[in-house]
Amino acid sequence: MPRVVVDVMLKPEILDPQGQAVANALPRLGVNDVASVRIGRRIEIEFTGEPDLDRAREIADKLLANPVIEDFTVRVVEADDTADARS
Amino acid sequence: MPRVVVDVMLKPEILDPQGQAVANALPRLGVNDVASVRIGRRIEIEFTGEPDLDRAREIADKLLANPVIEDFTVRVVEADDTADARS
């Protein structure tokens, strides 16, 4: 069943303290080749019928993202392309 | 600059109250064709050199995901495929 995936990330000019905290923790794990980490949200929307990108965009704009500080993208993915797949 | 994107989602069998709250709010917006909403995290990792998938997988496993309740996937994306692009 295809789903719509909404990716919400802070705008590039907005500081991301959560991502910074992860980046700062990496040297303690022995990882020294990471320049930056940004943390956002991934929302998977399953429709009862056909996936509806325009509808998903409306939901993202009204309910999922804060357009003042966040950007979002919407796209349709096949079910086996989701993070549900064991990795 | 290519980045590694880590998508972290709750395992399908784990309840997602945050996603449920969004799904329950949708009828009030006039949206009645959504079957389910699941909310996870999207992490963008920028390396100083070449993007390193194995390294990213290690970071995700140790620092970004809780393997008891979450699944994750790692993949390389080109810079213009990120949610940073205005939408």
Q: What is the pLDDT of residue A85?
A: 44
Q: What is the pLDDT of residues A1-39, one digit of tens each?
A: 789 999 999 999 999 999 999 999 999 999 999 999 999
Binary contact (A11, B45; C-beta < 8 A): no
Rounded to 5, what percent of chain B is helix, strand, coil? 30, 35, 35
Chain B residue with CA closest to A7: the answer is B83
Q: What is the dihedral of CA B42, B63, A31, B43, to 10 degrees?
A: 0
On whether any CB of chain B is under 8 Å from the CB of A77, the answer is no
Instruction: Tell me the pLDDT band of A48, cut-offs 50, 70 and 90.
Output: very high
Phi, psi (rounded to 5 degrees) for B65: -120, 150
The ipTM, to two decimals, is 0.87
Kindly list the structural domains of chain A, giving each domain's residue range(s) and its CATH number in brackets, ordered by start: 3-81 (3.30.1280.10)
Instruction: Tell me the pLDDT band of A81, cut-offs 50, 70 and 90.
Output: low
